[in-house]
Amino acid sequence: MCERSGYRRLSSRQFTVQHDPVSCIGRLVSPVPESGGCRETNHALPRRPSTRRNGMAHYLLIHGSWHGAWCWYKIVPRLAAHGRVSVVNLPGRGRDPAVPAEVGLSRMVDAAAAYLVDGEKTTIVVHSRYGVVASALAERHPERVCRVIYLASFMLPADDCVAQWSMSDRDSLVPANLQLSSSEYWDWLKPEAHVDALYADCSADDVSLARTLLCREPSRPAGEPLRLSADRYGQVARAYIRLTEDRAVSPALQDRLIEASPPQRVESISASHSAYFSQPDRLTETIMAIDRD
């Protein structure tokens, strides 16, 4: 079913982003990862103490479609007041000009996994399409993941793929505005849909920044079924942050995802798809509230 969606099934360099508070997007500096309303549900896991290096929490931020590490530029300095923050450029952007046809889900998971450290539990915050990367990462390394926080993200059940869910989202502006290359394996959102779908409540400066940096997205991972197990992924705590004004991953689809794969905690923010731009303080506060749980 996933392959019939127009996508097919099928290791990159990663960069740690360091942010100057007065800098617009930060500097990509190191090719080696640094080692260094709420609604409660009835799906609680046994509380397990998180393992923190030098007493500090570690946050790994994973971007969504067409974006890169740069999209978290407002969140990084805010979270850095509470712990160590890493961001990843998934293959095909930043300093990894990967050929889209060569990028599958496993390669994206490899890129994110390089930021996990033995003996340390990491809180992953993931946006939009690449909830599947965070889920696969939790499946691969459950001992290194404290929890996954899905921000209007594809928190899929086992054996499903992004494409089948995304294309069924009748309230989303994405399917009707998606350009897809079946020969080169990339997809792209038409520029005329950028503001309404992604940045409806964002400043003109943030929209200009994004339009300068957006890139074509490798499309193979969206068609790959997600392999998850109860004894690995199922042991990792999960939370979901709904974005109630989202027109890329609609609130209706977010609720369907939550129902299909219930997390331990659900929060809501009144924001469009890019809350890291429009409501960085509220988003950071919500992440911290979940992480203290």
Q: What domain range is 32 assigned to?
A: 3-292
Total-model pTM = 0.84
231-244: pLDDT as tens digits: 999 999 999 999 99
249-278: pLDDT as tens digits: 999 999 999 999 999 999 999 999 999 999
- Please state, rounded to an integer, the average pLDDT across all residues of the chain: 86
> Number of folded domains in the chain?
1
Distance CA 189, CA 192 (A): 8
Nearest to 96 by CA among 114, 111, 85, 116: 111
CATH of the domain at 167: 3.40.50.1820
Q: Is pLDDT of 20 > 90?
A: no
Distance CA 57, CA 100 (A): 34
> How far apart are the two ends of the chain, measured CA to CA in Å?
38
What would the two tokens of residue 99 be?
Answer: 């050929």
Q: Is pLDDT of 27 > 80?
A: no
User: Residue 53: pLDDT band by 50, 70, 90 thresholds?
Assistant: low
**pLDDT given at position 241:** 99
**pLDDT given at position 9:** 33
178-201: pLDDT as tens digits: 999 999 999 999 999 999 999 999
Is pLDDT larger for residue 212 or for residue 29?
Answer: 212
> Span 137-143, mean pLDDT?
98
**pLDDT given at position 115:** 98
> Span 3-24, mean pLDDT?
34
